[in-house]
Amino acid sequence: MTVQINKPYVIGLDLGGTNSVFGIVDARGEIKATTAIKTQGFDNAKDYVDAAVSALQPIIEQVGGIETIKAMGIGAPNANYYNGTIETAPNIAWAHDIVVPLAQMFSDALGIPVAITNDANAAAVGEMTYGVARGMKNFIVITLGTGVGSGIVVNGQIVYGCDGFAGELGHVTMVRGEEGRLCGCGRTGCLETYCSATGVARTARELLAKTNQPSLLRDLNPDDITSLDVSIAAGKGDELAKNIYEFTGKMLGEACADFATFCSPEAFVFFGGMVKAGDLIMNPIKEAYDRHVMPVFRGKAQFLISSLDGASAAVLGASALGWEI
Amino acid sequence: MTVQINKPYVIGLDLGGTNSVFGIVDARGEIKATTAIKTQGFDNAKDYVDAAVSALQPIIEQVGGIETIKAMGIGAPNANYYNGTIETAPNIAWAHDIVVPLAQMFSDALGIPVAITNDANAAAVGEMTYGVARGMKNFIVITLGTGVGSGIVVNGQIVYGCDGFAGELGHVTMVRGEEGRLCGCGRTGCLETYCSATGVARTARELLAKTNQPSLLRDLNPDDITSLDVSIAAGKGDELAKNIYEFTGKMLGEACADFATFCSPEAFVFFGGMVKAGDLIMNPIKEAYDRHVMPVFRGKAQFLISSLDGASAAVLGASALGWEI
C-alpha cells in the first residue's frame, strides 16, 4: 500500500441491492464525507453512474476537489475484480442480465482509477488496511449476513483465482448427501444454509419442530422468526436459542478447521450482523475449531471480530480497495 | 523466475524416508547428473550433510563446478519453508525429535542459497517451472501416494500460510462424525483416509467384507491388498476394483469442488503412483466435480496429470525451488 500524500483520499462505494453509499476516506480510515443514492430505479447503468457522480460532486469539492482523490473502490454483488465488471447481478435491475463495466464507467466519469470487488473481499481489504488485520499477510474474513461470504488474503494479496470469483467459502459442503439443506446456489449442504442469518432462522424452525424444549421463540410465528429474534432470546438466557448458536458456531468452527488446511491463516475475522451475538457464537466456533483442526495448526490462528464500525464498514472496505490500485 | 545464464543449473534433493536422491538440473528441466545416498544410518544431521556433499562433489565438477550452480532446492517431509528447517520428522532418525536447520547447513557446506519445502509444494513448483502448469498463476497439485498431499499456487506463489505448513488438503474432513475413518493425524474422516493408496486398500477390504460381489481381489489375503493390486484387477476389468476407483474418484471430485470455492484454480494437477490408473480414477473425479462444483466455477478448471517423469519428478520439483530463491 502506497499512500500518496498529495492525494490523501479515496472514495468508497458500498453498492447494495437497495442503497448505494459513498464515503471519502483518508489513509487512517476516517470518513471525511458521505452521500448516498438509491441503487434501483435507473433504466441502465449509465443513468446510475450519472446520478452517482452528481451526488459525489459536492462531497468531492468539500474535501478539496478531485485532485485530492487517489482512486475509488467499489464493493458490489457479482463483481469481477479482473474485468472491473458486475456480471448478471440478480438483484440489480440495470445489471440483471448483462455484464456492466462499472469500474471503467466510473473511471471515465471521474478521471481517477477505479477497482471493484465483492463485499466480502472489500471487507478483507478493509480489515487489512484499517482494521484488526493490519500487518497480517494471511487471514480469512468471514461475513455472516443474509449469506455467508469470505475474503481470503494469502501472501498479503486477496485470492481472486483464475476468474475473479474465488473466495466463496459459504459454499463449501458441510453436510453431504440427501440430508443437506437446499442452497440458493442450487446445491445442497452448503455452509451458508446453516450459518447465515437465514440459516440460523432455519435451524430455529427445525429445533422448534423437532423438540418440545420450552423457548421464548415459541411465542413467535415460526415462519417469521429471524436471526435477530434468536439473538434476543439467547440474550435473555433462552436455552433453545443458545443451542442454535452452539449448533451454528460448531459448524463454523469445523469449517474453519478445514480452511486452515488450505492457507494456515494467522486469523479468522468475523464480520456482519450475526457477530453481534459475541461470545454466544464465537465460543462455540473456537471450541469446535480447537477440537477439529489438524494438530500442526492448533493454537496458531486468532479468532477476531471486525473492528470496523458496523454502519460504515462496507464503505470503508470498498474505499480500501482504492489504496491498492 | 529469473534464470541466470552464467549459473545455468540448480541442485534438487528429494529427501525421502529411505533414499536421498540428488539431481543437477537445467532451466528446461533436463537432469544433467544424479547421485544418491541413504537417508538413514547417520547419527546426526551434520553427518548426513557431510555424506551428501561428498556424494555431490563429483557431479558438481561434472557440470563445471559450483560456480555454475545457482541454488539448491530440497523436498522433504515436515519441511518448513520459512525457517529452512525439518521439524520433528517422525521417519528420519537424525530429525526425529529435533528441529534441523537443513537449508542453512547445506548452504554453509556448498556456498549457495538453499530452500526447502515439503514434497507436494516442491511438486507444485516443479509443475509451474517445467511441467503442465507452466504459465499458470492459480492451480492445485494433489499428490496421491501413501498419503494425500497438496501444493497450492495462488497469484503465482506457493501458499505457505502463516507458519509454512499450509496446503494440507489431504486433511480436509470428508466424512463427519463417528463413521469417519481414523487418520494418521489423529482425527477422523480426512480425505487422505479414503483417497491415498492406503485408503484405496482400505476401501477394497471394506467392499470385500460388505458385499458378495465376485472379484479377483478375493484371491488375495485381505490384509495384504495394496492399491497396486486394485489397479491390476481394475485393468483386467474387475467390477469391484472399478467400483473402488469410482468411490475414490467421486470423493476426490467432491473435495476438488470445495477447493474451487477457495481459490478457483485454472487446473488441478494430479501426481503420484495412483494416477497411473488414468481414466479409471480421472473420469470419476471429473464427473463428481462437475456435479458438485458451484455453477460459477463449472467448466473452468482443467484436470491434468503431471507431465513430470515419475522416477525423477520429485528431484525435478525440489530443483525448481532453486530457481525461485
What is the DSSP secondary-structure string of B22-85? EEEEETTS-EEEEEEEESSS-SSHHHHHHHHHHHHHHHHHHTT-GGGEEEEEEE-TTEETTTTE
Beta partners for residue A12, in sequence order: A23, A73
B157 vs A contacts (CB less than 8 Å): 154-155
Quickly list DSSP for A2-63: ---TTS-EEEEEEE-SSEEEEEEEETTS-EEEEEEEESSS-SSHHHHHHHHHHHHHHHHHHT
pLDDT in tens, B93-122: 899 889 999 999 999 999 999 999 998 999
Could you tell me what percent of chain A has a pLDDT over 70?
Answer: 98
Contact state of B264 with A165 under an 8 Å Cβ cutoff: yes
Task: Give the mean model confidence (pLDDT) for residues B222-241.
Answer: 95
Report the residue of chain B nearest A152, measured CA to CA: B262
Task: Give the mean model confidence (pLDDT) for residues B16-43.
Answer: 95
Contact state of B265 with A162 under an 8 Å Cβ cutoff: yes
pLDDT(B258) > 90: yes
pLDDT(B28) > 60: yes
**Sheet of B99-100, strand order:** B79-80, B85-87, B99-100
Task: Return the residue matching grid coordinates 466480502.
Answer: A120
- For B171, the closest of A172, A186, A261 (CB atoms) is A261
Per-residue pLDDT, A178: 87
pLDDT(B30) > 70: yes
pLDDT band at A90 (very low <50, low <70, confident <90, very high): confident
pLDDT in tens, A283-322: 999 999 999 999 999 999 999 999 887 778 889 999 999 9
SS3 of A74, please?
strand
pLDDT(A91) > 90: no
- 8 A C-beta contact, residue A282 and residue A270: yes
Distance from CA of A175 to the nearest CA of B (A): 8
AA identity, residue A316 = L
- 8 A C-beta contact, residue B44 and residue B50: no
| Residues 46 through 75 of chain B touching chain A, CB cutoff 8 Å | none
Contact state of A169 with B261 under an 8 Å Cβ cutoff: yes
Question: Can you tell me the distance from the alpha carbon of A243 to that of A81, in angstroms, rounded to the nearest whole number?
Answer: 39
Distance from CA of B149 to the nearest CA of A (A): 11
pLDDT(B148) > 90: yes
- 8 A C-beta contact, residue B286 and residue B303: yes
A170 vs B contacts (CB less than 8 Å): 261
| Residues 97 through 156 of chain A touching chain B, CB cutoff 8 Å | 137-138, 152, 154-155
Q: What is the ipTM of this complex?
A: 0.92
Per-residue pLDDT, A5: 59
Question: Can you tell me the distance from the alpha carbon of A149 to that of B201, in angstroms, rounded to the nearest whole number?
Answer: 38
Per-residue pLDDT, B182: 96
Spell out the residues 6+ positions from residue A98 whose beta carbon is closer than 8 angstroms to its own: A88
HSE toward the beta carbon, residue A144, CA cutoff 13 A: 29
Phi then psi for residue B63, to 5 deg, are -95, 5
Contact state of B262 with A169 under an 8 Å Cβ cutoff: yes
pLDDT in tens, A207-259: 999 999 999 999 999 999 999 999 999 999 999 999 999 999 999 999 999 99
A160 vs B contacts (CB less than 8 Å): 155, 264
Task: Give the mean model confidence (pLDDT) for residues A67-73.
Answer: 97
- The interaxial angle of helices B227-235 and B197-210, nearest 10 deg, is 70
Contact state of A265 with B161 under an 8 Å Cβ cutoff: yes
Question: Can you tell me the distance from the alpha carbon of B240 to that of B213, in angstroms, rounded to the nearest whole number?
Answer: 7
Per-residue pLDDT, B91: 83
What are A261's three cell numbers? Answer: 488446511
Per-residue pLDDT, A97: 86
pLDDT band at B17 (very low <50, low <70, confident <90, very high): confident
CA distances from B201 to A31, A287, B221, B285 (A): 61, 34, 12, 18
Q: Give the CA angle between residues A255, A259, A260 to the nearest 5°.
A: 120
What are B152's three cell numbers? Answer: 497450492
What does pLDDT average to over chain B?
94
A258 vs B contacts (CB less than 8 Å): 172-173, 258
Could you tell me what percent of chain B has a pLDDT over 70?
Answer: 98
A185 vs B contacts (CB less than 8 Å): 294-295
pLDDT(A133) > 70: yes
pLDDT band at A66 (very low <50, low <70, confident <90, very high): very high
Task: Give the mean model confidence (pLDDT) for residues B177-181.
Answer: 92
Q: How far is CA A240 from the centre of its chain?
A: 28
Other residues' Cβ atoms within 10 Å of the Cβ of residue B319: 33
What does pLDDT average to over chain A?
94
Task: Give the mean model confidence (pLDDT) for residues B69-83.
Answer: 95
**Sheet of B19-26, strand order:** B31-38, B19-26, B9-15, B69-75, B114-117
Question: Can you tell me the distance from the alpha carbon of A22 to that of A49, in angstroms, rounded to the nearest whole number?
Answer: 12
Beta partners for residue B97, in sequence order: none
pLDDT in tens, A6-39: 799 999 999 998 999 999 999 999 999 999 999 9
- Answer yes or no: pTM beyond 0.95: no
What are A104's three cell numbers? Answer: 471503467
| Residues 299 through 318 of chain B touching chain A, CB cutoff 8 Å | 300-301
Task: Give the mean model confidence (pLDDT) for residues A260-272.
Answer: 96
Per-residue pLDDT, B3: 53
- 8 A C-beta contact, residue A269 and residue A275: no
Q: How far is CA A2 from the centre of its chain?
A: 24
pLDDT band at B2 (very low <50, low <70, confident <90, very high): low
Phi then psi for residue B26, to 5 deg, are -95, 180
- On whether any CB of chain A is under 8 Å from the CB of B297, the answer is yes
Antiparallel, parallel or unpaired: β A114-117 and B19-26: unpaired
- On whether any CB of chain A is under 8 Å from the CB of B45, the answer is no
Distance from CA of A190 to the nearest CA of B (A): 10
Per-residue pLDDT, A61: 97
Residue from B153, B191, B146, B196 nearest B169 by CA? B191
Question: Can you tell me the distance from the alpha carbon of B103 to that of B148, in angstroms, rounded to the nearest whole number?
Answer: 25
